[in-house]
């Protein structure tokens, strides 16, 4: 089940070459994950009171440049749910053109940073969104 965040490319996102500065794309992906957790009823600001959801790995291909003013649609898909991990993919399109694709793994950790099993409520909230699981 896909979740999409619109994102206009703003002045702050662009570099002297006039195109998106790629570390800003990772901020966007982080925002998209945060919005997704809002959407499933478990906002980050609540989760991080007692736990953490750091990104353990991420990879991205930047296939075409984005320019100031471009209107991107960033689509997140949850592709796997492990004992304490969540696999995600991202695709950013501007119209029909793919600007970047990425995949990442989040881990549910204790406040001390140790991986822990997803809580029952988080697992129940995530499961319907994991592709092939519903």
Interaction of residue 34 with its own copies, rule CB under 8 A: yes
Q: Please choose, out of 52-60, 77-85, 88-96, 118-126, the segment that lies near its own copies by the rule CB under 8 A.
A: 52-60
Interaction with its own copies in 8-27: which residues (CB under 8 A)? 10-12, 14-19, 21-24, 26-27
Interaction of residue 56 with its own copies, rule CB under 8 A: yes
Interaction of residue 120 with its own copies, rule CB under 8 A: no
3-state secondary structure of 114: coil
Residue spans of beta strands (DSSP E) within 1-134: 2-8, 55-62, 71-81, 85-94, 97-107
Q: Are 76 and 88 in contact (CB under 8 A)?
A: yes
Q: Is the dihedral of CA 41, 107, 104, 30 positive or negative?
A: positive
Residue ranges binding its own copies (CB under 8 A): 10-12, 14-19, 21-24, 26-27, 30-31, 34, 43-46, 48, 52, 54-62, 65, 67-69, 111, 113
């Amino acid at each position: 089940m896909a979740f999409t965040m619109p994102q206009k490319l703003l002045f702050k996102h662009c570099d002297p070459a006039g195109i998106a500065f790629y570390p800003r794309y990772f901020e966007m992906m982080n925002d998209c994950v945060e919005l997704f957790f809002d959407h499933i009823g478990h906002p980050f600001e609540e989760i991080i009171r007692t736990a953490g959801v750091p990104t353990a790995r991420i990879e991205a291909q930047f296939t075409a440049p984005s320019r100031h003013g471009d209107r991107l649609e960033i689509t997140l898909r949850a592709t796997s749910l492990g004992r304490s991990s969540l696999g995600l993919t991202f695709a950013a399109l501007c119209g029909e053109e793919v600007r970047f694709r990425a995949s990442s793994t989040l881990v549910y950790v204790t406040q001390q940073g140790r991986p822990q099993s997803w809580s029952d409520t988080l697992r129940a909230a995530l499961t319907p969104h994991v592709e092939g699981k519903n």
